[in-house]
Each structure stands twice: as structure tokens, then as C-alpha cells.
A and B are shown apart, each in its own frame.
Chain A
């Protein structure tokens, strides 16, 4: 199917189905139940799942395949965001303008930074990308204010030319990003009994693009080019003596992953037309590193899982406060209840970063393949158990000695 083998095809289909039905899947609790706060099916968050999924999928093409650890990918996200908002200001509110521009601008930016940074490898490469990203951040905040609008951030205004659309709305309100007239904020709410589901145009635009990006990533992973990237990670010396030049392969991977980051930035501003310099901060780059590794670097679905996991944590886990905890542990005797709440408190709510940090460390130490490897291990455990059960059964049935 679509030039994919069976396994990849199934994986791809699962992702497509998940994206289409996410508004249902992520809203399992009735809207007036006490568990409703764990519903993640609201447009804003679902869009973020997809956008950061794209970001991480792209990062994985660089880090997962070539092993080059970039700590500066947020710079491309930021560059894409700025480019996107400028398209809204100059051309018009169609998200296609923004997305195209952000991918191109981020790609060029990545070509420049990658060309220089890739002259070194290992930790030096990491530090070079870090330095470039911090430089971009500092410049966006100060000198580049005419382009980035400094601290305030770049936003739309009434006076923008928007040459392809002419004057802005007559009532003086700011125009809204749209895809050929379909506004990204348009949401249809479906009430089914106690449940309420939101279907948002922006979400589905992101969804289509994310599916395309994911498909592209599968194709790259399974292509000769992808194989060369894994060869870069494995043994550059052998590559050189096999007549292959590792540099352009790595640079291509860097630029592609930069374009994915730019795409994510373009989508971000398509959902909310505002771009700020803090999007380029190196801790932001750290976030995509966390996502990719937590999910499973070098695996296809890992980065998507990681992105979803972290964004869910950030938005849902952070809402668990003491009141909720008391509810959870209400079945315990009072003393125990308070003790449990006291123990759990630092790890939830505002402390979710702590849980994330610990989880991340555990993954790096024990599960280098991330959540995907964890899942595989559990799967294998079950399968093996089943197999031994079966084996034991047949052995008994045939009544033959074990040896």
C-alpha cells in the first residue's frame, strides 16, 4: 500500500485512524464527570499534539538516523513562525502561504547553520548548534526587532498590506488564518449524550499535514538515503572508504529536519498568528530532544508518541492539584490519605516537569529505545509467556519427557 511494506502500512493506517478519530479517542470521559479534566480532546491541545509530532518526527530524521544531536532545532521552529506571520501580514491569511514560506525559510536557515555546524561532530556539533540557536534568540530579541518585533512578538495588525486580499475586515477586527476561506478556528461541537466532542478545522488541517509528514518520514526511513544516514551513524570511516561522502548526506538530513521544524512553526502561527523569540530558546530545543528520546529515537512512531506524551503531561498532568489528589486517595484512612497526597504532590501539578525529568533519565538509563522499546519488551514478555505456556501444554499433551 502506497509503496509501504505491510508492517509500515499497518502503522501508517493506525496513525491515520488515530488522527481522524482523535476528537473521540481523547475525550473518553463525559463532560460533566469529575474525570473530564483528563480529557485532551479540545482543539488547542490536539493541534499541539500534531504540531509537536511533526517537529519531533523531523528531529528524529536527524538524530534518530545519523546520531547527530542538535540542541538548536528550536531556531528553525522560530524562523518558520516568523516567516509564517510575515506571510499573513504581507500576502494574505491563507495558511498555505504561511506554511510554504516557513518551510522554505527554515530550510535555508538550516542549510546555512548545518553547513557550518556539520564541519564538526559529536559534542562539538551539539555545542555549535546550541550557540547558533542562542545567537538567533538573542538577535531576534534585540537587533532584528524590525523583523521580529522583539519582546512583544510578531503579530497581525490592521495596517498590514495583505496584497492578495486587499483591505482587512470592515468591522475593524483582525483577520483570521484560513484555508481557502475555511477558518482554522472554526469548530463544530457534537453533543452525544453526556459527551461533547469538538471538531476543529485547524486540527484537521494539521492532521492532514502531519499524516503527510509522517508518510514522508516512513519513506525516508525505508529509502537508500535513510540507509546511508544510518551508515553515517554507524561508521563514517567505512563510509568514506566505500566511496560515499557522509557530509552531504548529513547536511541533507539536517536541512530536512529543519524544514520539518519550520513546518511545525508555520502551523503554530496558522493556529494562532503570533510569533515570539522565546520559541527559539535552547530549552525549547531541549524539549524536542526529550520528546524524541522519550518516545524512541530512530523508531518511526516513537517521536509522535513522545510528543503526545509530553504535551499531554504538560497540559493535563499539570492540572492535578491537591484537591484532585485528595479525591483519588479518599478511600484511604485520613492519615494515609494526607501522607499520600503529600508524597505525590511534588510530582504533579506545577511539579510535572520533575516527573518528566525523572522519566527521561530512566529512559536514557534503562530504555535507550524509549517508550517504543518499552512496549516491545512488554509485548515480547507476554508472547514468550504464551509460548512457554503453549509449549508446556503440548509437552504434557504428548506426554513426552522434557529432554
Chain B
């Protein structure tokens, strides 16, 4: 039994069968990559997991509970965090505040009317956020406006915002898209560290084979809305079907 069990998920948009009968099992503490050519349905699948889309058929179980029909914030409260393709942060707030917000969300749930308490008095929350920022080497930027950060820093900040919630499952949507080689390698190192140190389960959607093969324990190849194969990176590398559907294509 994996921590995330996707069974028979299908989704149609008008005449387009974006997903058809996807089965997927993500094991606890593993890094599971989902790859596939453009239009394979990777993003649709991800959106079905976080509550942005509701699949037409099938079930999505997280830790024995169904996530279907729940709102994104409810699913997050169950322990699933998401990193976006372009970092989604609170640009108008400071770096520290960005990290404090998930701390509050974790402590107080999806809504609490704490209008009279003062942020400055929330010592434990501030400490928690600062520790997290130190972990991602951003403590010296704590009072910067998040919007003024470099792209790499924004990515790290977003990662910090997800990690400080101590999620049971971290979903990453092309975390290195558009990054330079050096930034990509930094991100890989960061993710590796996260996975090892914090033992957080990850599901990564990624285009970059370098990222996938350096991180993943298991890989699912998606093509035209259905999983082609699921196996370890070594096996995937040599798999003829995958070469045909994906790697062959990538050599153009």
C-alpha cells in the first residue's frame, strides 16, 4: 500500500480524453517521477491530485482517505503540498512572512479569527520560520520583499513554504523548468537533501531527464493519458517502449 494510491483515474475535456485509466502508487519516503511527452496528461493528473480538477472516473486515496471532492486547502491540510512550475509566493510580503503563513496554516487550520493577537508575539512561529529559512540558506534575506528575489531564490522560498508544513507528500511540477544548469543542480541537491534529511515523499513531474534520473526511485512514464510503464530508473532507461514514446522523441 503506497501513501498515494491512484486507481483508474480518467478525465475528459470535451472531445479530448486527457487521462484514461491511470493507476499509480507512490510509496512512502520514495521519490516518484512522472514523465512523459507534452500533452501526455501530466499536469492534468497533478491537478486531479490537489483538488483543482475532479476526475470523471477512478479514485485517489491519500493515506487511506479519498481526496476527491475536497477543496485544495482541505487537501493541503491532509498533508499534500505543491510546488508550482513558476514559483507561487506572496510577492507583496516579506520572506519571513511568506514562511510564517504556512506555519500559521499548520497550527491553526484553514481559518482562524486571530485578529487581536499580534504577529510579533508569536515567538514559536517566528522561530520555526527562521529555522526553516536557515535550512535553505535564506535567513539573511528574511526582511526582503519576496517579489524582489531572484528566480532561484523564489523557488527556494516556495520550497521552504512547503517544507515548513512538514507535508507527508510533496508534489513538484517541473521544479527546474527554465532554470540554468547551475540552478538546476542546486535544486537537485536541495531536493535530495530534503528527501534524505526529512524523509518526505515526493512526486515529481519533470521534463529534464537529468533531474529525473538523479532523483527518482521510481518512474512512471505517461503517454497519451495512460501509464506506459512504471519501474526503476535503470530499467526505464533501457526500456524499448519508453525510448520509442519519449526518449526517441527527445533526441530530435
Binding site for B on A (CB under 8 A): 3, 5, 219-220, 222-228, 230-231, 233-235, 237-245, 248-249, 252, 256
Contact = CB atoms under 8 A, between A and B. Distances in A.
B90 A238 contact: yes
A234 B90 contact: yes
A245 B111 contact: yes
A220 B115 contact: yes
B86 to A, nearest CB: 11
A227 B93 contact: yes
Given A234-B91, A245-B110, A224 B119 contact: yes
B76 A223 contact: no
A220 B110 CA distance: 18
Most B-side CB within 10 Å, residue of A219, A224, A230? A224
Nearest to A4: B118
B105 A244 contact: yes
Nearest to A245: B110
B40 interface: no
Given A227-B93, A231-B93, A240 B72 contact: yes
Contacts of A222: 118-120
Interface string B203-237: 00000000000000000000000000000000000
B117 interface: yes
B88 A223 contact: no
A243 B88 contact: no
A231 B90 contact: yes
Given A223-B116, A227-B119, A248-B111, A241 B88 contact: yes
A240 B101 CA distance: 12
Contacts of A249: 111
Given A219-B116, A225-B115, A227-B97, A243 B91 contact: no
B213 to A, nearest CB: 28
Contacts of A235: 88-91
Most B-side CB within 10 Å, residue of A233, A235, A256? A235
B145 to A, nearest CB: 10
7 contacts: A224-B112, A231-B93, A239-B101, A241-B72, A242-B105, A242-B165, A243-B77
B166 to A, nearest CB: 12
B114 interface: yes
B119 A243 contact: no
A236 to B, nearest CB: 10
A235 B92 CA distance: 9
Interface string B95-130: 001001110111011111111111111100000000
B151 interface: no
A245 B117 contact: no
Nearest to A243: B76
A86 B165 CA distance: 51
